[in-house]
Structure 1
Amino acid sequence: MDRPGRSTRDWIVDSVVFVAAIGFGLIVFDDSVKPPGGEVMAALDLISGLVLSLTLWFRRRWPVQLALIASVVSVFSETASGPTLILILSVAVYRPLRITLLVFAVNAVSLMVYLEVKKQADGVAVAVAAIAIYLAVAGWGLYIRSRRQLLQTLRDRADRAETVARLQAEQGQLRAREEIAREMHDVLGHRLSLLSVHAGALAYRGEDASPKEVTAAAEVIRASAHQALQDLREVIGVLRAPVGELPQPTFADLPALVEASQAAGVQVEIQQDVAGALPDHIGRTAYRIVQEGLTNAMKHAPGERVAISVTGAPGNGLEVEVRNPAPNPRRGEGQGLKGLKERAALVDGRFDHGRTPEGDFRLQAWLPWPS
């Protein structure tokens, strides 16, 4: 608890303590009984007390050592009583209770020796009064120490709370970025897959296609590119917005998703049997599963039929299945499927994918739907 230097408050406190110690010592010295024929002893009493008062400027650095020296000096010096009390107080403030009790015991023994040396008639009364003052000073010091420790504990707790709040904010930002990354993958991946399908068809049939078909394909490519750019702008525009403000699709947008894929030439068959209105987070998760299934089908099985099944009711949950004749995705291209598994887990659902016995590739999910 030692400090590297004194603050303005420390200088003021030390000055007041120094003056008070000298004043108290001089009062006790003036009222004391002088030793017979002891002018030398009286001078030694006064000088030693004043020198001990000077050591109070170092009481923060060496409180125990100075208090032990004071216990020796106070055996013959009544002027040392002032700085001795201050040093006992300093030990109680800056050192643990065990050391404080040890110093207190040493000074109590010194008091007994002092009374034996002075041979005072009212020695018992002086001893009782001195012990009471010692106890009061030591108790005051222990109170100051406890209060400082309490304030330090409160400051530490406040610092820890601030650190925890900062870490929670950083984790929230990371979660928001992860969600934005998933949205960018799902939205732009689907749009760009549509672009790839139309551009591939236009390149493959560029020579035998009629001008009308070329114009129609180019218009679909233009519209898809424009929509992809708009989606990208929306996602980037909300990078600093709370996660709840991100543009999110709903289950009602599923027919439009299927129509856009059919317009791109994908053979999509959808079977939908949903009894009731889905919760927003469940419907959004189902939409993303279907969207990822269509995107994978356009990437890995262009021209193949895609079968979509969405069935469920409150209390039974919602089952989503996307199936198409295609091999598993190529190695290193499974980030979308990992994202779907995370999405399903976030709503306490289940997600699975893989090849069926018939050779189809299937995405299958079950999402809870409270009754």
Structure 2
Amino acid sequence: MDHSLDRRRSARDWVVDSVAFAGSVALGLVIFDSARTDEIPKWLLDLDYLSGLLLCLTLWFRRRWPIQLAVIGSLVSIYSETGGIAGLLLFVTVAVHFRLRVTLYLTAFSMLCLVAYSFVRGTDSLVTNMITSAIVYAGAIGWGLYVRSRRQLLQTLRDRAERAETVAQLEAQQAQMRAREEIAREMHDILGHRLSLLSVHAGALAYRPDASTEEVAGAAEIIRASAHQALQDLREVIGVLRAPVGELPQPTFSDLPALVEGSRRAGVPVDLELDAPGTLPDHVGRTAYRIVQEGLTNALKHAPGQPVTISVTGAPGNGLEVEVSNPAPQRPPGVGQGLIGLKERAALVEGKLEHGRTPAGDFRLAAWLPWPA
């Protein structure tokens, strides 16, 4: 059954029902006027007239009880010609809103009623009436199937449009979430390292009240430079928040020595082994840079002043190995968002990352990243 029968009657439905009612009454009266010359009892003629008008009134309710009224219309057609048009419209309603099998059952029942009509009205042209009625019913069925298929097509297109709109909204929300996650990760990576340098030097000033004027001035200059660079990095991130995600400021593998040198100037003893001849893919180089940056940041936070050993080695076809180690603190640090983000970064480039204490008591951050030949 077509579910459009369940909806409330629209303005278009009111217009269609009004035209159908007026047309069926007008044509029914014309047919009744021509049938007055038939040799039938007067009571049957009066019954034909009243039943036909009542059947026209049922057109207002054909959307609520389509099959029931169509069956009543077929029964009334046994003796009434006035309600013939109304009965045909009730039949078309079933053809439009129900499956073909239901319509064929109703057609067979209507043809039987037509045979009874020939006996009740005393007509001699049964075969002609059957052929004519069969043609009319075939046309009604064809029209009903056309309207039904067209409505189903329009409903399918509407459903597809709604699904496409829903999918587009979900994809937009997911893209927005991914953008926010990447922005948060970039802010963590960019600012975390700078702020760790600030914390180390500010802490050194607090615990060294006997420091000389030159040492205080040097530490203050490093703090000023780190704060200025952190502000510059923050401005870059904020400046591209409305830009596509791919336009966020991204470091390259060639910036790795500068990153290490900045930590050395901050007073962190860093030993760097860099042996990676060749050109790394951009996404792999950025991931290696972020791993080293996070390792230095964690060393500054949890083991300030301790030596840090960095090893970055590899070759095309063998992959790139990145390792950052430093003496571990007495209380092992928990797994923060930075290490979680690094695992995600490594997984995105089909690499592997691990971290934890070594048997020697150091904290080790190691990763393997693919490097195509």
TM range (shorter): over 0.9
Residue 98 of structure 1 and its aligned partner are, at CA, apart by: 3.5
**Contact 1:268/1:307, CA 8 A, preserved across alignment:** yes
Deviation readout 1:218-272 (Å, 9 max, x if unpaired)? 0111111122222223223322321101111111111111011001110001111
Determine the structure 2 residue equivalent to 1:280: 282
Q: Distance in 2 between matches of 1:200 and 1:179?
A: 31
Determine the structure 1 residue equivalent to 2:367: 365
Residue 103 of structure 1 and its aligned partner are, at CA, apart by: 2.3
**Contact 1:327/1:355, CA 8 A, preserved across alignment:** no
Q: Tell me the secondary structure at the aligned position of residue 2 of structure 1.
A: helix
Q: Distance in 2 between matches of 1:57 and 1:19?
A: 11
| Residue 268 (1) aligns with residue 246 (2) | no
| Residue 85 (1) aligns with residue 77 (2) | no
**Contact 1:328/1:354, CA 8 A, preserved across alignment:** no
**Contact 2:302/2:333, CA 8 A, preserved across alignment:** no
TM-score by length of 1: 0.94
| Residue 97 (1) aligns with residue 109 (2) | no
| 47-56 vs 236-245, greater mean Cα deviation | 236-245
Q: Distance in 1 between matches of 2:323 and 2:152?
A: 63
| Residue 56 (1) aligns with residue 59 (2) | yes
Matches within 5 A, 1:115-130: 115-130=118-133
| Residue 305 (1) aligns with residue 324 (2) | no
Deviation readout 1:4-54 (Å, 9 max, x if unpaired)? 543332222222222332344344434448553522222221221122112
Residue 366 and residue 89 in structure 1: after superposition, are their counterparts in 2 closer, same or farther (change >3 A)? same
Q: Which amino acid aligns with 1:161?
A: A
CA-atom RMSD in angstroms: 1.8
Q: Distance in 2 between matches of 1:187 and 1:363?
A: 19
Residue 89 of structure 1 and its aligned partner are, at CA, apart by: 0.4
Unaligned 5+ segments in structure 1 are none
Residue 339 of structure 1 and its aligned partner are, at CA, apart by: 0.9
Deviation readout 1:79-128 (Å, 9 max, x if unpaired)? 11101110000111123334323322222221121122223221111111
**Contact 2:325/2:362, CA 8 A, preserved across alignment:** yes
Q: How many residues align?
A: 370
Q: Which amino acid aligns with 2:269?
A: Q
Determine the structure 2 residue equivalent to 1:225: 227
| Residue 292 (1) aligns with residue 294 (2) | yes
Q: Which amino acid aligns with 1:127?
A: M
Determine the structure 2 residue equivalent to 1:65: 68
Residue 75 and residue 66 in structure 1: after superposition, are their counterparts in 2 closer, same or farther (change >3 A)? same
Determine the structure 2 residue equivalent to 1:315: 317
| Residue 108 (1) aligns with residue 87 (2) | no
Residue 331 of structure 1 and its aligned partner are, at CA, apart by: 4.8
Q: Distance in 2 between matches of 1:223 and 1:205?
A: 20
| 263-272 vs 62-71, greater mean Cα deviation | 62-71
**Contact 1:251/1:283, CA 8 A, preserved across alignment:** yes
**Contact 2:40/2:121, CA 8 A, preserved across alignment:** no
Residue 329 of structure 1 and its aligned partner are, at CA, apart by: 7.0
Residue 244 and residue 328 in structure 1: after superposition, are their counterparts in 2 closer, same or farther (change >3 A)? farther
**Contact 2:32/2:82, CA 8 A, preserved across alignment:** yes
Q: Distance in 2 between matches of 1:138 and 1:31?
A: 28
| 171-180 vs 220-229, greater mean Cα deviation | 220-229
| Residue 353 (1) aligns with residue 355 (2) | yes
| 90-99 vs 29-38, greater mean Cα deviation | 29-38
Determine the structure 2 residue equivalent to 1:191: 194
Q: Which amino acid aligns with 2:368?
A: W
| Residue 13 (1) aligns with residue 10 (2) | no
Determine the structure 1 residue equivalent to 2:139: 136
| Residue 42 (1) aligns with residue 48 (2) | no
Out of 322, 325, 328, the position equivalent to 1:326 is 328
Residue 265 and residue 35 in structure 1: after superposition, are their counterparts in 2 closer, same or farther (change >3 A)? same
Q: Tell me the secondary structure at the aligned position of residue 242 of structure 2.
A: coil
Residue 77 and residue 34 in structure 1: after superposition, are their counterparts in 2 closer, same or farther (change >3 A)? farther
Q: Which amino acid aligns with 2:21?
A: F
Q: Which amino acid aligns with 1:202?
A: L
| 52-61 vs 330-339, greater mean Cα deviation | 330-339
Q: Distance in 2 between matches of 1:237 and 1:97?
A: 64
Q: Distance in 2 between matches of 1:37 and 1:96?
A: 38
Unaligned 5+ segments in structure 2 are none
Q: Distance in 1 between matches of 2:334 and 2:100?
A: 65
| 10-19 vs 209-218, greater mean Cα deviation | 10-19
Determine the structure 2 residue equivalent to 1:253: 255
Q: Distance in 2 between matches of 1:257 and 1:285?
A: 14
